[in-house]
Amino acid sequence: MRIAVIGTGYVGLVTGVALSEIGHHVTCIDVDPSKVETLSNGIPTIYEPGLEALMKKNTAAGRLAFTAVHSEGLSEAAVVYIAVGTPKRADGSANLDYVESAAKDIARNITQNVIVVIKSTVPVGTNFHILNVINTNTKPGIQVKIASNPEFLREGSAVKDTFHGDRIVIGAEDEATADILAEINAPFNMPILKTDISSAEMIKYASNAFLATKISFINEIANICESLGANVEEVAKGMGFDHRIGPDFLKAGIGYGGSCFPKDTNALVQLAGNNHHDFNLLKSVIEVNNNQQILLIDKILSRFGSLAGKRVAVLGLAFKPHTDDLRESPALVMIPKLAELGADIIAYDPIAIGNAKKQIKEAIAYTEDLPSALQNADFAVIITDWPDVKKINLSAYNQLMNDPIVFDGRNCYSLDAVKQETIEYYSIGRPD
């Protein structure tokens, strides 16, 4: 099948590469010519384990190409995926400008019948709106079908998730369109759910909202555990044995971030509100999440009183390990707050520093070397549970820091291991 993918971000690039790996001929289109040039040279523009090798392999096999010219990428495509961003607007709703602009790009440039597949996360009703945008802007006589195929990959394991995910959801108006998409995806060997378009759009939001709810729920339990002397880790373990609950997404911490949960939960609250439904539960999930970072700052302040002149090692910038993405990372809340309180900050991250420098305005120091971050620090704050942070020999805190005081926002260490060292250790929902 000849396929075009519009947008070469985390979703578009991984989708394009994966579709080429299962044998399709894919052209990835992006409006950013510098991205296209880098990709055409075989260099991934994002960090995702396993991506580079697959990209190189399929480009060399002639199944994968990149272009900034829509007419070139769209010519001969039977199926066009839209995988552009849908960021959060100031009022919390999803910004559909990029999807609309991609739709107009398709409309103006196609000369053949196509199926347009929306992979971007979009509010219920958007697929029909986009079909309308394409039909109004394209040449008469061209038949366009629309389908919703929401994406469930996670950054940091995007390639693995694409080949070994839990399900593929296909929302289409007619059986024939759904069948073509099922055939395209068949080599992924995953359960395929065919449904109507509105339900497919909602499945994505409901899934992310549910996962965010699990995280805020356990974080709220963690906060209560702190007041009562219980250990949230034991509580989560005990809950997780119950197969109706399950052990995943019950890890307490400083809250979720990333390009999806914060924007999708807000967009669902907006979508519900626009339809006269006050989604109080989800509003609380968002509020609990926003508060988690403030609670850690409060904990630090109650330990020190003042942070003026204190040297702090911030361990991790990315919103989670194995990605260079900082979108909505707790680091973007914690660093300005620590800086405002007068702390002298050195931030460690193995791969996200380039992106961090574009987003963090405060004058702070950066290092990709974990021991250098800890050297002479007065305290450390763990924001991302990078493997090297988790695996560090705990004695390093004692050896390198001025004072071995650690505020662990990700519960990286067992309390038993910490007790073997002379570290002052504060974590989330566990006894200090």
Active site positions, annotated: 260
Residues constituting the chain = 432
15 among annotated binding-site residues: no
152 among annotated binding-site residues: yes
- Taking the complex as a whole, the smallest distance from the CB of residue 164 to ligand NAD amounts, in Å, to 16
**128 contact partners, CB below 8 Å, separation of at least 6:** 146, 197
415 among annotated binding-site residues: no
Q: Which is nearer to ligand NAD, 10 or 425 (CB)?
A: 10
Q: Which is nearer to ligand NAD, 166 or 175 (CB)?
A: 166
104 among annotated binding-site residues: no
- Taking the complex as a whole, the smallest distance from the CB of residue 211 to ligand NAD amounts, in Å, to 12
Separation of alpha carbons 428 and 432, rounded Å:
9
155 among annotated binding-site residues: yes
Separation of alpha carbons 410 and 428, rounded Å:
7
> Quick one: DSSP state of residue 241?
T
30 among annotated binding-site residues: yes
- Taking the complex as a whole, the smallest distance from the CB of residue 177 to ligand NAD amounts, in Å, to 21
Q: Which is nearer to ligand NAD, 153 or 212 (CB)?
A: 153
86 among annotated binding-site residues: yes
Residue 200 burial class via C-beta count within 10 angstroms: exposed 0-12, middle 13-18, buried 19 and up: buried
**74 contact partners, CB below 8 Å, separation of at least 6:** 4, 29, 80, 105, 106, 109, 110, 114
User: Residue number with the shortest CB distance to ligand NAD?
Assistant: 9
Strand partners, 278: none
Q: Which is nearer to ligand NAD, 102 or 115 (CB)?
A: 102
**Interface positions with ligand NAD (CB under 6 A):** 6-12, 29-32, 35, 83-86, 98, 101-102, 105, 120-121, 151, 153, 155, 259-260
- Taking the complex as a whole, the smallest distance from the CB of residue 354 to ligand NAD amounts, in Å, to 15
- Taking the complex as a whole, the smallest distance from the CB of residue 232 to ligand NAD amounts, in Å, to 26
Residue 67: how many CA atoms within 13 Å on its side-chain side?
13
Q: Which residue has the tokens 């931030």?
A: 347
Which parts of 241-307 fold into alpha helices (H)? 261-274, 280-304
N-to-C CA span, the chain: 58
92 φψ region: left (φ > 0), alpha (ψ -120 to 50), beta (else): left
Collapse the DSSP code of 270 into the 3-class scheme (helix H, G, I; strand E, B; otherwise coil) and give the result.
helix
Q: Which is nearer to ligand NAD, 65 or 373 (CB)?
A: 65
Binding residue ranges for substrate: 152-155, 204, 249-253, 257, 320
Binding residue ranges for NAD(+): 30, 35, 86, 121, 155, 263, 327
